[in-house]
A and B are shown apart, each in its own frame.
Chain A
Amino acid sequence: MSVTVAMATRTLTLRNALAYRHAWWIFVTGFLEPVFYLFSIGVGVGRLIESFDVNGHPIPYAEFVAPGMLAASAMNGALLDSTFNMFFKLKYQKLYDQMLATPLTTTQVALGELTWSLLRSGVYAAAFLLVMWADGLVHSWLAVLALPAALLIGFTVGAVGMAFTSYMRSWQDFELVTLITMPMFLFSATFFPLSAYPGWLQGIVACTPLYRGVVLCRELTTGQVTLDSLVSVIYLVVLGAAGLAVVGRRLERLLLT
């Protein structure tokens, strides 16, 4: 009897869906945060701002902030399961020990868990896109592509988050996750453009995963796609794949001793 990656992924997804059945409201809270920011800053503060330039085209401020929050909601979707929840499963619930006593391999477990993060990202992003559309913040059919873009963000954040988590020793270490994601959320050209930074800082911000996600989503929802999007896609794919490879190796080191 051998188990294919697809079968393993389906089963792990089923397992996570069953486990979440009684905690669906956790799903909702994670989704609401960027929505609140959109209305408070994007729409509220946006009233005070005349207009805004994206790639030389003037757009309302809310339309600038919305794709940033879309990328952030994709990140949020992947973050919780790949960090806190994975740590709990790894160290306390010993869930992966169980799985590895079956024909499943560490790579299959890593992929299956990542798929869950990805799905959650996808659900968040789809709902967020609907909110944007209902609020008249979407002007291009290219916005449909923001959904796969959000899945890509979920893939990368999930894989890197899991890789980080595999090195964590205690719950205290998770302060680090907040310390990284909080500034990313605020400073990745989510609320103001990259040009607000001095040159050297622009270079650094441009290399963060959320910034790449924001650029990608923004170019798609505003319909102004440039080479920057391609750079983002390649960047996110490579970073995600690297994270995934680390997770597989780490699970082996930690559990198959």
Chain B
Amino acid sequence: MISARGLRKSFQQKGQEPFEAVRGIDVEVRRGEAFGFLGPNGAGKSSTMRMIAAVSPVSGGSLRILGLDPATDGSQIRGRIGVCPQEDSLDTELTVAENLYVYGRYFGIGRAEVRRRAAAQLEFVQLTERGGAKVEDLSGGMKRRLTIARSMINDPEMVLLDEPTTGLDPQARHVLWDRLFRLKQQGVTLVITTHYMDEAEQLCDRLVVMDKGLIVAEGSPASLIAEYSTREVAEVRFGIGENESSAGAVESAVGRRAERVEVLPDRLLIYAADGEAAVAAVHDAGLQPVATLVRRSSLEDVFLRLTGRTLVD
């Protein structure tokens, strides 16, 4: 579906060096998979998505979407994909149902057909009752769902979702995830960007971790965790300002039970196969953390390992 080789994007800036947002990435997305771009703000995810959506010219490298070249077949590519941009771009002067109808007509879909699809999509995203409402009166989650419904109006082979749940409350996120799962089951190829590791774990079969315009790791969520992290993580929290100074003592306390100890401003992360054993070792050494927690490793840990930073700061 997508084949990128050495893909680059740079932005011309007045009186400055061009800014390189994407600095040479290779990506292959296969039909039917849910593919993710995971990375912090500014990693170059949206820039990449806009190139894939054929609305942003490629600055370097090669890019093929559905086997087509976005530079010459942009219109054709856009006709076969669905786009859910980072910022909701709904038509605020139209009602919910009109948004779908008019958008479908932009694709040249016949009147009766687009009416049928609009009704089906409203049903799918559970907005049927709000069909006559003004867009402004929708909640953030509803707007996002409407945007997703809109991106499906042309029966796309692939849907691009740029941070689909950013800014939503937990319940709205779960409703949205559920809809995206169903899309995936219908065989739609999904390409998702996110800076939430739980979202990437939930939705993506395969993902790349991006940082500063480059891909730093690639694989399935499970394989990335297996490769770059331990099975468990013990989080130990000391008093304010004591975390960093306790790191050395913790390291010697856990010894070979842990692979490494990571220092964050508010806590220490002990990477170990057996988290409980590591915590026990900390206590046995006479250290007294104010709180401890043992959890499964996540993509956040992978990211931390690769970049030394957290995803959301």
Contact = CB atoms under 8 A, between A and B. Distances in A.
Interface of A: 1-4, 7-8, 11, 14-15, 18-19, 93-95, 97-105, 255-257
Interface in B103-123: 103, 105-109
Contacts of B252: none
A3 B93 contact: no
B98 to A, nearest CB: 6
A2 B85 contact: no
B102 A103 contact: no
Contacts of B178: none
Contacts of B75: 2-3, 103-105
A104 B83 CA distance: 14
Nearest to A105: B75
A42 to B, nearest CB: 36
Given A2-B76, A98-B103, A101-B53, A93 B93 contact: yes
19 contacts: A1-B80, A1-B109, A1-B154, A2-B79, A3-B79, A4-B108, A11-B106, A18-B93, A19-B91, A93-B93, A97-B55, A98-B89, A99-B106, A101-B89, A102-B107, A104-B106, A105-B75, A256-B56, A256-B57
B78 interface: yes
B107 A1 contact: yes
Contact of A18 (B55, B92, B94, B107): B94
Chain B interface helix/strand/loop/mixed: loop
Given A1-B79, A256-B57, A7 B91 contact: no
Per CB-CB distance, the 6 closest pairs between chain A and chain B, nearest first, are A19-B93, A102-B106, A3-B108, A103-B79, A11-B105, A103-B75
B56 A2 contact: no
Nearest to A102: B106
A206 to B, nearest CB: 39
Contacts of B78: 101-103
A85 B6 CA distance: 41
B93 A100 contact: no
A94 B53 CA distance: 16
A245 to B, nearest CB: 19
Contacts of B56: 256-257
Given A2-B79, A256-B55, A103 B94 contact: no
A101 B55 contact: yes
Contacts of A255: 55
A181 B221 CA distance: 61
B82 to A, nearest CB: 9
B94 A102 contact: no
A19 B101 CA distance: 13
B87 interface: yes
B102 A14 contact: yes
Interface string B176-211: 000000000000000000000000000000000000
A103 B106 contact: yes
A100 B55 contact: yes
Contact of A102 (B91, B98, B103): B103
Contact of A95 (B80, B83, B91): B91
B79 A102 contact: yes
A105 B79 CA distance: 11
Given A1-B154, A102-B103, A103-B78, 19 more contacts: A1-B79, A1-B80, A3-B79, A3-B106, A15-B94, A15-B102, A18-B102, A94-B89, A95-B89, A98-B89, A98-B103, A99-B106, A101-B83, A102-B78, A102-B107, A104-B75, A105-B75, A255-B55, A256-B57
A103 B156 CA distance: 12
A14 B103 CA distance: 11
A101 B85 contact: yes
A207 B262 CA distance: 74
Instruction: Name, among B57, B75, B80, B83, the residue most crowded by chain A CB atoms within 10 Å (CB to CB).
Output: B75
A122 to B, nearest CB: 22
B94 A7 contact: no
A116 to B, nearest CB: 13
Contacts of A103: 75-76, 78-79, 106-108
